[in-house]
Structures are given as structure tokens and as C-alpha cells.
Structure 1
């Protein structure tokens, strides 16, 4: 399969052997299951019966897997019996390859930019009672960290929980503690006690402050650009209850609609305008969530157990990383959506055939580019107003 050109097969086999996933399995080994699940992700097959039917009708897929048929019940049993943490380990190996490849190119920066956020996937309450969310529906939450490097964003660590889990409760699992890291997150991660701890440990962060925050101004700084409205050194929290021990830097700027935005950071050396630009990069993670929800199978699930649901999310993330890995290998810059469409067309062809197809010059000029750029700006404004819940119900054709 084309996207498996750079797949860490040896590491995968070690993970499978260590977990004993193929013990007593005769027909559908874990590697074949992974292939089938990735075909389902890339072709958007949203049920196990669809996957089974695809194998029955697809002679090329049969030849690739040395498998002529499989039942939906067998697929269900295999997905149920493989611990989702196995797929998590595979994801970690695949994304490590992407990051290693990305580090070979691009300018060296004085910090590693990490963006942290979460996205909720709603579920039917009757079928997913274990996924605690609200009285009328269930849900899970994907807590994700992406790394932005040389203008591109790459998925990094992730944590899966029930949707009711507050974002700030998993901060410590996602925040990067190395001295060269700069962590960016939104108002859902406001926690003065944790921020104090991060200041004490030298963990750098940039966040947006809630409008009702109690602020004690210690110092006013001069503003040198129109982009920044004000800059201050402050102490956050109520002096009698939650006040931080360490002072932080407060920067007032404007969003894309001209509304005032208050940013706080314990990074004291970078210019205020650059801190504002860094916070705006947080929208890259919203676009990541939007992309996987539109183009991969993460809203319809093959099983109803927690293990099956979490496993499917990890498989989607593996598929996303493989597409990005393929994108990195291409001789010219193309969008991830173009890569996905090419993979759908050349799913079983040799890697060089896919490269040749994606390297062909366009046959006509795209006169709609300006409208696409306008749509992107509009998307950023909507996210700024509404947050990310709307991504679960947005028209999937919008902004493509």
C-alpha cells in the first residue's frame, strides 16, 4: 500500500509481539487488520459490514492481504480484543518518524511551539453509557498536542477521556517541560496553581485569560506597535485565595474581528507582537480537528465499547500521520487533502506512481483561490466566537 512506504514495520511487529495480539489468531493477523482499518479510514467506510464487503469485492485488496473474505463479526472481535493502548504505541512510533523528518529541514528557532487543545465527539447515550458527558448524550474528548515547525503542524501526544473530563485536568500529560518548549493553550486551561508551578519549574506557556480574572498590575510597559494595545507585568488571582506567587506578563491585542484579547505568558524575552502572533497560531489545532472529522472516520464507530472507540481514534491518528509522512516525501508542496485524494486513487499502486501523479503540473489556473482565502479567514473568526463544539455539526462541504 502506498502510504506504508515509510511505515515503521519492525517497531510495529515488536509492539504486537510484546502485547501478544496475534496469539492463537489464525486468519486475521494484526498487520492485516491495520491495513483494513486504514483502508476504511482513507475510503471513509463507516461500518464493519462495509469493510467486509469491500474486501469481498476488491480483488487488489484480496491480493495485497492474501485474504479473500472476512466477516463483520470477526472484525468486531479482533478490534474488541486488541487493547487500544497497542494502537496508541503504534501512533507514537509513526508520529516520531514524522517529527524526525521535519527536523531535517526548516529554520532553527529559539523555541519549540506546542499547541494544546481538545475536541469533543458526541455519542448516542443509549449505546455508549460509559462515555460520561450530559444527561441527553454521551461523548469522548480527544486532548491533543500539536507541534508547529517551519509553518507546518504535526500531531504529537494525545489523551483520550470521557467528554466530561475538564481540559485542565490533563494539562500535565500534554505540557512539554523542556527548556526550549513554548506551550500554547486557551481559556479552558486556566489554573493559577498549575501556572505557578510551571513558573517555578521554568515551563513556558502562553494562554488567553478569562474576562472575569482578578488582576493586580505591578508594572506598565510601553507599547511599540499598533498590533499591541497594552503590555503589563501583573499578578493574577484573588490576594486572599488564588493569587499566583509569580508575576506574569499580560498583553492586550485584537483578534481578527477587532475585539480585544488578553494574553498572559511567563515568557519575558520575546517581543509582545511575536507573543500575539504565537497565540494566533493556536488556530492550527482547530483546523487539525476539523480536518480529521471531515476526512477520516472518527464520528461513526465500528464498536460500542470504550476499547473499540478509543482504538478507532488511535487508528485515525495513525492514518493522518501516514498521510503527513507521505506529504513530506513529495517533491513539491501539496495540501494534505490532495494527498488523501491521490491515495484514494492509487491505494494499491507503487509509491513512484503516486509521486508521479502528484508531481504533474495543474491543468488550469484556480481562479477561486481568493475566495478560499476569504473562507479561511471567516473560519478563524467563527472559531474565535464559538469555540470548537460547532465542528461536530458543521456542514462538511463548508470551507473546502
Structure 2
């Protein structure tokens, strides 16, 4: 692709130049290129279908990615070889600027969560999960740290039946100097302490009875807080064993769930009240939903509901390929990834459309989406006034 193509070629050359076993037929560069091309083909969602694509209209130096050979290559491929490409692409992602309604937030907001993907039951390192019919299936978890502003994955790891909690799986790969927004399954003192040790901040939803807190001070809500549904704000200490030291804020916000029922959200944060209002903390937490939307996009539209491999290396490689494709779409189009960008750039990859035609289609669809968002915002404003 236009702006990311030269960079991709550089890294493919790097992979091709690495020493390989004397009997190797499928080179690392051809494996990565073939997987990227298949990502943009909505029909190439299995090893058999990838094999059926042949040489992808001459883009590969091979007749095809043979199913058995590709399976062996995925198991042997070291996914860490793709990290330099991911890092280079992340450096090229344009800055979207500050989000509206987040006064006082100067750090990149990272939504962290895991999503489960089903694999074969005989994968020894997978987690075991019972179906409703009593059958057993294997699952692996993709641990994603996502830039909530642009849907760019910053860190991605794969977990199985390793005995660690979800929060512990993230603690080893935390980023410095960012703002983490996470849900109730991350309420672990080890995780919160690790975030603070990295010089980062957090906004975490807590349970109604956990963790134990000692109230130091009650803060009066501002007019903006009341308008946003803030019903309580307290300065607290965490007296539990191994709890991080210092003062924190516990903010309670009245909200509605998916069924329209009223609910109280309790948020714990280390963000200072002097610079970040309680209503802003609530707005930050709402950005956590972006990672759920990304997971839905990844599984529904990007076809990541089907795993190409049963090995840890192979699954991690497939997820890294998805991250690279997402980054390439963003760098190429300048817009957050969407099904429209995936479809248009997929047609470019298959030689059915020029890059200029694809950019025109993406820009048109983005204008339509922007107009629809504005229309929905006006409807919400009218309902609020009524």
C-alpha cells in the first residue's frame, strides 16, 4: 500500500534474509505476505481456502501456501519477528488529537481487556470450558491493550491454561505513562500497583462490596458532575493486604444498563480531583466500550473467529498479522478501521480497484458515518431537552 508499502517491503526483506533451516520450503517473508493478503480476502478464512488462493495473482514466489506446510510454518514461526514491523507502523499512525469532554486528561487512554477464542479440545495449553450441552471446548485468550482513541492495539499477548488471572496476564506487559481504563475483573492490588509503578494512571470499575475502602473525605459534586449523573465522590484509602499506598477517589455514577434499567457504576481512580472532574472520570470509563467494539469488529468482520493454528506461536502470529493489517489500514486511509476500509483495501489487494478509488470510497463512507453520528447526537439532545 502506498504509504506503508515500502516499510512492509523492508521488513519482508529482513525476514527473507534471516537464516533458515536447509529443508525450509516456505520462507518467513512469503508466509507473512500470504497471511496479510488472506486477511484482506473475506473468503480466505481457513488454511484450505488460503491454499485455494494459489499465489494470490502473482504476489507470492510460490505456487500456493500449501495447507500442511503453512500449518507447520505457523507452529515454527517466531511471532516476535513481527514486533519491529508493528512498532514502525505504530510510529506512522496519525494523531487524532484530544477527545471532546476530557478536560484535564493529557495521557493516552488505553483500554485493556481479554477476549476468548475457541480452539480444539486437544490443545494441551488451552483453557477448558464446558458448553451448555455439557461438552468441553478449548479456549485461548487474546490480551489486548488498545488505544481507545483510534483502535490501534499497543500490546497483544496470548494466554492459555497458565494459572494466571486476567489481571496478572496484563501486569507483565504494562505501558509507562498512559491512562488505563479497565473493568471489574482487573480489581487486583497486584495489577493496580504495577500500573502505578509504571508511572501510569487508572480508572477501574469496582464491585459493590470490593475492595474494602476507608473514606477520608467526601467531595461535593460540581454542576457538570450532577449533569453527568455523579451521585457521590469520596477520597479513600485501600486498607487491604498488599493494597497500593496513597489516596484514591471512589466515584459513583448513576447510569442505565443495556436493558434500560438504572444501575450505579462505582469507579476507582488515582487521577487528581484538582485537574480531572468526576464527570470526566465517567467519560473516560465509557471509552472502555471501544475495546468491546474492536473485539466485535475483529471477530465479525475481520474473520478472527477462526484460528488457523493450534500452537501458541501460530495463534500469536495470526493475531499479530491482524494488528499489522489494522495498522496498515489506518496509516493508509487516515481513518479508524471499519468494514468499509477492509472491503475497499481488500479489493486493492486483489487488483480489483486502484488505491485512489479505494481512498475515495473510504472517504465517502466516513462522511456518511460522520453525518449519521451528528444526526444521532441531535436526536439525543432533543430527547434530553424533552
State the TM-score bracket (shorter-chain normalisation). Answer: 0.7 to 0.9
Structure 2 residue 97 is the aligned partner of structure 1 residue 106: yes
TM-score normalised according to structure 1 size:
0.77
For residues 356 and 274 of structure 1, what CA distance do their matches in structure 2 show?
A: 36
Q: Cα offset for 1:311?
A: 1.8
Q: Cα offset for 1:344?
A: 2.5
Candidates 102, 122, 128, aligned match of 1:133:
128
Candidates 43, 49, 53, aligned match of 2:41:
43
For residues 68 and 242 of structure 1, what CA distance do their matches in structure 2 show?
A: 58
The aligned residue for residue 177 of structure 1 is 176
For residues 334 and 310 of structure 1, what CA distance do their matches in structure 2 show?
A: 23
Q: Cα offset for 1:340?
A: 0.8
The aligned residue for residue 69 of structure 2 is 74
| Residues 70-79 or 284-293, more deviating | 70-79
For residues 168 and 334 of structure 1, what CA distance do their matches in structure 2 show?
A: 27
For residues 300 and 217 of structure 1, what CA distance do their matches in structure 2 show?
A: 48
- Closer, same or farther: CA 373–301 of 1 in aligned 2, 3 Å: farther
Structure 2 residue 206 is the aligned partner of structure 1 residue 209: yes
The aligned residue for residue 235 of structure 2 is 233
For residues 30 and 238 of structure 2, what CA distance do their matches in structure 1 show?
A: 54
SS of 2:140's equivalent?
strand
Can you give the 5+ residue segments of structure 2 that lack an aligned partner in the other structure? 100-104, 131-135, 381-386
TM-score normalised according to structure 2 size:
0.79
The aligned residue for residue 254 of structure 1 is 254
The aligned residue for residue 359 of structure 2 is 355
Candidates 289, 306, 309, aligned match of 2:312:
306
1:121·1:299 contact (CA, 8 Å) conserved in 2? yes
The aligned residue for residue 345 of structure 1 is 347
1:124·1:138 contact (CA, 8 Å) conserved in 2? yes
- Closer, same or farther: CA 62–131 of 1 in aligned 2, 3 Å: same
For residues 326 and 362 of structure 1, what CA distance do their matches in structure 2 show?
A: 14
2:326·2:337 contact (CA, 8 Å) conserved in 1? no
Q: Cα offset for 1:276?
A: 0.7
For residues 13 and 362 of structure 1, what CA distance do their matches in structure 2 show?
A: 34
For residues 70 and 363 of structure 2, what CA distance do their matches in structure 1 show?
A: 37
- Closer, same or farther: CA 235–107 of 1 in aligned 2, 3 Å: closer
* Equivalent residues in 2 for 1:87-106, closer than 5 Å: 87-98=82-93, 102-103=94-95, 106=97
For residues 24 and 4 of structure 1, what CA distance do their matches in structure 2 show?
A: 32
The aligned residue for residue 280 of structure 1 is 286
The aligned residue for residue 165 of structure 2 is 166
For residues 282 and 33 of structure 2, what CA distance do their matches in structure 1 show?
A: 43
- Closer, same or farther: CA 325–199 of 1 in aligned 2, 3 Å: closer
SS of 1:219's equivalent?
strand
SS of 2:172's equivalent?
helix
Q: Cα offset for 1:145?
A: 0.8
Structure 2 residue 57 is the aligned partner of structure 1 residue 62: yes
User: How many residues are aligned here?
Assistant: 351
| CA shift digits 1:52-78 (9 cap, x unpaired) | 11216xxxx332224434432222232
For residues 329 and 23 of structure 2, what CA distance do their matches in structure 1 show?
A: 29
